Structure 1
Amino acid sequence: MAVVPASLSGQDVGSFAYLTIKDRIPQILTKVIDTLHRHKSEFFEKHGEEGVEAEKKAISLLSKLRNELQTDKPFIPLVEKFVDTDIWNQYLEYQQSLLNESDGKSRWFYSPWLLVECYMYRRIHEAIIQSPPIDYFDVFKESKEQNFYGSQESIIALCTHLQQLIRTIEDLDENQLKDEFFKLLQISLWGNKCDLSLSGGESSSQNTNVLNSLEDLKPFILLNDMEHLWSLLSNCKKTREKASATRVYIVLDNSGFELVTDLILADFLLSSELATEVHFYGKTIPWFVSDTTIHDFNWLIEQVKHSNHKWMSKCGADWEEYIKMGKWVYHNHIFWTLPHEYCAMPQVAPDLYAELQKAHLILFKGDLNYRKLTGDRKWEFSVPFHQALNGFHPAPLCTIRTLKAEIQVGLQPGQGEQLLASEPSWWTTGKYGIFQYDGPL
């Protein structure tokens, strides 16, 4: 394997990784503890004293976790037997073997940032599953649902746009269809701004109609490979045999408003016949505050379907039908909530890698996917995306991301440095976005 740069970590005082570990992660843990406190009476109503004791136990475990983080204690192995426990503990041992620290222990501020964040969310899950009968509880469910409810006007506008588009789609010429495809791709991109882990779990609802802002937002797209996506899918459509399929896979990021934008794009792909199947990949456990689980996916479609708004409700009914017909398929896999970078997938999850190889195109949404695609390393800005993927090439892929971490590759020479000089936080606020493609041209 080629030599790769060092991982981003909290060792770099003042870096985004350092500030995340020092400030944002403890803030998220405090919110999780508060959420459990607020649900105490609900746990009592459902489970009696046993529920209250379980809540106390979970809070005690989470308070211990927060203390370990704030005092930079060594990582401890996972103890609760779960489907991924052994893989996690092996990885923690492996990371420890790489360290040069005097005591050889993985610590919060000295370990790779990617591992630190993933470990924290996995430990939150462990605290919950160690506390039956409340071991079913999603500590982030409320904030995900609030994001959806707070974005109703924007969702109605998008659903209305989609339904009107579908009604005239057969009358569109190729250029008009392409324009609409690009429009919905951009909506999916800017939907990625709604990230609750970036805001420490604070509200990140979408209150404006993104459709009206697309022209104003165009200058903030740093890399724009949408033409490659159009070329690939329109070519698949033209050359497709009658019984054959065109599969687009979407590796999801946030629930709430962003998930709506992804489903609208997926609906358009079927309605325009640019794809015949869309496969969605979400998280098996609550993750990074707002990431999509199967519960979030089904809940959101149900909410859209039962809306009082005609076109929103029609979208929900259509989406339910796509699932019944097998045109939309949701997949779970533990790999997405492991700490591994994606170049390790062929070894760690060969079944998932083989599945991804069946795609005609894979869309990776959001920042965490980008960090895992590129190994969350200190790459030079101008390093080619293909190189940073470090051998991960299951199928043509494109990352659709607003930038919220100090990692970006594939820029023009000098472009990143110029942005850094004029706007030091350019790559951590979600202000800029990318469509970055890897695959045959």
Structure 2
Amino acid sequence: MEANLPRPISAATSPFAAFTFNVRFPFIINQIKANNLLAPSQRNKLDDLLQEIAVGAVPQREDVFYAEDRVYWQTFLAAHAGKRYVDIPFFEAEAYIYYRVIHIVDYKHSGLDPFYRIKADSLEQHRGFAEAAASRHMQQPPVFEVTYFTSLLHAALWGNSADLSQLETNDALVNPALRNNLVIDDSSALRRLLTTGPTKELDFIADNAGLELLADLFLIDYLLTTGQVSRVNLHLKAYPTFVSDATIPDVAGHLAILRSLRHRPLTQFVDRLESYRVGGRLQLLDHPFWNSPCHFTSLPQAITQGFNRNTVLIFKGDANYRRLFEDREWPYTTSLEGMLEYLKHPCFSIRTLKSEIVLGLTEHEVRRLFDADKDWLTNGKYGLIMGNPTYF
């Protein structure tokens, strides 16, 4: 990235970030208390955390760190201890608050995912959609077909609108009327990359559980079944965060839910995914970096050394997009040329817009979008399938 970087997005300057601290976090923490059997001391600590966010500052304390990710959070404290949450970079503050929640519920020892209920509910409440999608999917021949691939890619995109950390989810995957438009569409470039030249591996950095994860798994299954990729490495969070972000236990739990519906196409779909996992063509991976406050400009070697020479990277969702560009106040017309060279692989972001950052647009497009919808940056009704132009 360039030397003269824009300042990080923070609640001091971003209306959406300020809304998150003032409205979304109180809602989320109260939701945790309502959905989980917590000890009185844990409830008190959650209340204290809310008070700390509202009027306090980041405390200088290391007793909340796990050994495996201490290095990330020590760096965070060195930069931000003593500062108000609204004055530090928005993404880093969000990541830290969710990390604190996980410590309060003692996830590493209790195994309690404070967001499990709403993640499971989001899948179970759409049983009809899941069954219809599986019926259609399992009838597809094992030969790559552009139209069906594109439909799965768009399903993976609009599944990202069902983000359970938002106060209002759009479920654009289920309801096409909620899909306003794609502001960037590099899907043909992604298709060419996956279908030409040497067989690729796919490193897929997941975002949300629930409907989005289901849509992602249909896409992954199709690429493996048609032989367009030799292997998929599905990267997941090491522990629950950002309400609906997917973990390895979420994948297992979702597949168990799908199997429990006793719908033959869904069972066949789950069986095939399990066969790919057992055979090594589908790997479920996690790493504490994905939960850290760090951006992808500092991806650790422990992750990048696993990228095959012919790997294509797909980053799902809003938070991953923010981390690609360090969640800074980039002008919307910033060129994408050279911006993602640090990844050293072709990469794509598949995301519905739910925060105040987007690059690669023209001035005319920006004016048109603001004229059409003043909330287009944050309401999840606009999406992008954006690739690194170096590899087109």
Corresponding residue of 1:99: none
One-letter amino acid of the structure 1 residue matched with residue 136 of structure 2: H
Residues 206-248 of structure 1 show CA distances to partners (whole Å, capped at 9, x for unaligned) of: 59756xx3xx677601110011111111103xx45xxxxx211
- CA distance in structure 2 between the partners assigned to 1:410 and 1:208 by the alignment: 25
Counterpart residue type for residue 397 of structure 1: C
Contact 1:305/1:315 (8 A) holds in 2? no
Structure 1 pair 190/62, CA: closer, same or farther in 2 (3 Å)? same
Pairwise mapping of residues 244-259 of structure 1 onto structure 2 (< 5 A)?
246-259=200-213
Q: Is residue 388 of structure 2 the alignment partner of residue 434 of structure 1?
A: no
SS at match of 1:322: helix
- Structure with larger RCO (C-alpha < 8 A, sep 6+): 2
> Residues of 2 paired with 1:402 and 1:413: CA distance?
20
Q: Quote the offset at 1:265 in angstroms.
A: 0.2
Residue 3 (structure 2) aligns with = 2
RMSD of the alignment, in Å? 2.2
Amino acid at match of 1:440: Y
Match of 2:336 among 385, 389, 392: 385
TM-aligned CA deviation for residue 299 of structure 1: 1.0
Q: What's the counterpart of residue 403 of structure 1?
A: 353
> In the alignment, what sits opposite 1:180?
148
**Alignment partner of 1:66 out of 50, 59, 62:** 50
Equivalent residues of 1:283, 1:292 under 8 A apart? yes
Structure 2 residue 165 is the aligned partner of structure 1 residue 197: yes
Alpha-carbon separation, structure 1, partners of 2:151 and 2:41: 48
Contact 2:204 / 2:232 at 8 angstroms: preserved in 1?
yes
Instruction: Determine the structure 2 residue equivalent to 1:266.
Output: 220
Match of 1:365 in 2: 316
| Conserved? CA contact 1:154–1:207, under 8 Å | no
**Deviation sequence 1:290-312 (CA, Å, 0-9, x none):** 01011101111122233221111
Query: After superposition, what is the alpha-carbon deviation per residue over 1:181-225, rounded to whole angstroms, capped at 9, x for unaligned?
Result: 1111001101111101112xx7x5959756xx3xx6776011100
Change in Cα spacing, 1:59 to 1:219, as seen in structure 2 (3 Å) is closer
The corresponding residue for 1:233 is: 194
Matched, 1:220 2:181: yes
Q: Does 1:326 align with 2:280?
A: yes
Paired positions, count:
389
Structure-2 residue corresponding to 1:149: 124
Gap change, CA 1:359 and 1:24, over 3 Å in 2:
farther
Normalised to the residue count of structure 2, the TM-score between the two structures is: 0.93
Using the TM superposition, give the Cα deviation of residue 415 of structure 1 relative to its aligned residue in structure 2, in angstroms.
1.4
Counterparts in 2 of 1:262 and 1:3: CA distance versus 1, 3 Å: same
Which residue pairs with 1:122 in the alignment? 99
Deviations 1:229-271 (A, max 9, x none): 11111103xx45xxxxx21111001111110100000011012
Evaluate the alpha carbon distance shift between residue 299 and residue 178 of structure 1 in structure 2; reply closer, same or farther with a 3 A threshold.
same
> 1:281 deviation in Å?
0.3
In structure 1, the gaps of 5 or more residues are: 41-54, 97-104, 241-245
Of 164, 167, 175 in structure 1, the residue corresponding to residue 139 of structure 2 is 164
- Alignment CA distance shift 1:28-1:120 (3 Å): same
Residue identity in the other structure for 1:5: P
Code of the residue aligned with 2:50 in structure 1: it is R
**Partner amino acid, structure 1, of 2:42:** A
TM-score by length of 1: 0.83
Alignment of 1:350 with 2:318, yes or no, is no
Confirm or deny that 1:293 pairs with 2:244.
no
* Aligned-residue identity in percent: 26
Higher CA-based Rg: 1
Correspondence for 2:18: 18
**Residues 181/335 of structure 1: CA separation in 2 closer, same or farther (3 Å cut):** same
Q: 1:75 to 1:424 in 2, by over 3 A?
A: farther
